[in-house]
Amino acid sequence: MTGRIHSTESFGTVDGPGIRFVVFMQGCPMRCLYCHNPDSWDINGGTMMSTEEILDEYERCRAFLKNGGLTVTGGEPLLQKEFVAELFKKAKKRGIHTCLDTSGVTFLKERAEEFDALLSVCDLVMLDIKHISDEEHKKLTGHTNKNILDFARYISSRGVQLWIRHVVVPGITDSRSEWYALGSFLAELPTLKAVDVLPYHDMGRIKYEALGIEYPLAGTPPLEKDIAVRAKNVILQGLTDALKNPSRQK
């Protein structure tokens, strides 16, 4: 089986536990205002690679992947979920830890079983929750967040470990009340293992310029790291309070 691949990275350190081999899939339906990989949007772009070619690349650097494994990200890997499922199935036969990094945007609750083959070979899912408010999520990404929150619940119901990622962007996702609401939602996820809160940066701006695309957040300053730390504390407080008082959960 072959898939459209944007690129690979041999020594990823922020893409799951340990040092990871990272596969960036090509194609994404979302248009997040802070996206730093606009070159991955085109579903017809990238390079065709087979699962065996990717695993061969992995094996060449396996000795250096300390306590790590294989992470597939994007773009949006769920656009090619059958390919990723096949890749992970083969990886697990080789004793490789598998991690899916996704926005969850293609998930539909009424067709949840279509995602079972992939989730059955995922050791970990890293799920981006861009904004807890549906209306603000639409402004930020062009899509609803309802199916994404459904996917978070479904992943956890399948017993798969779940890490949540959230980017704090000045003027967009920097509301204390929304951080707290996100934490309250996370209390619904029994397999939650970690919450990563990341500060917005504009390092992808140069890619927009190279592609001749206007950068959507021109003028938005990178977020100070201490604000991201503060946001994580509020999120965790919302989570803790919801676990103590289930009626607070949505």
Averaged confidence pLDDT in the chain: 95
Going by pLDDT thresholds of 50, 70 and 90, the confidence category of residue 66 is confident
Q: How confident is the model at residue 248 (pLDDT cuts 50, 70, 90)?
A: low
Mean pLDDT of 13-27: 95
Q: Determine contact, residues 181/203, Cβ cutoff 8 Å.
A: no
Q: What is the DSSP string of 14-72?
A: SSSSSSEEEEEES--S---TT-S-GGG--TT-SEEEEHHHHHHHHHHHGGG-TT-EEEE
- Output DSSP code: residue 87: H
Positive/negative CA dihedral, 53, 46, 4, 130: positive
Q: What integer pLDDT is reported at residue 246 of this predicted model?
A: 72
Q: How far apart are CA 242 and CA 174, in angstroms?
A: 21
The torsion angle over the Cα atoms of residues 134, 138, 144 and 148, rounded to 10 degrees, is -80
Residues 6+ apart with CB under 8 A from 238: 179, 180, 181, 182, 183, 184, 186, 187
Measured in degrees and rounded to the nearest 5, phi and psi for residue 178 equal -75, -35
Q: What pLDDT sits at residue 238?
A: 97
User: Domain containing 65 — which CATH number?
Assistant: 3.20.20.70
**DSSP-H helix ranges across 65-219:** 81-93, 116-119, 134-141, 146-157, 176-186, 205-211
Q: What is the pLDDT of residues 101-143, one digit of tens each?
A: 999 999 999 999 999 999 999 999 999 999 999 999 999 999 9
Confidence of residue 203 (pLDDT cuts 50, 70, 90): confident
Count of domains forming the chain: 1
pLDDT value at residue 247? 65
* Strands of 161-168's sheet in order across: 47-50, 2-12, 20-25, 69-73, 98-102, 124-128, 161-168, 192-199
pLDDT grade for 188, boundaries at 50, 70 and 90: very high
pLDDT digits (tens, 9 = 90+) for 223-236: 999 999 999 999 99
Domain that holds residue 171: 2-248
> Above 80 in pLDDT, residue 13?
yes
- pLDDT class for 160, splitting at 50, 70, 90? very high
Q: What is the pLDDT of residue 249?
A: 54
Q: Which amino acid is at 103?
A: S
The pTM of this model reads: 0.94
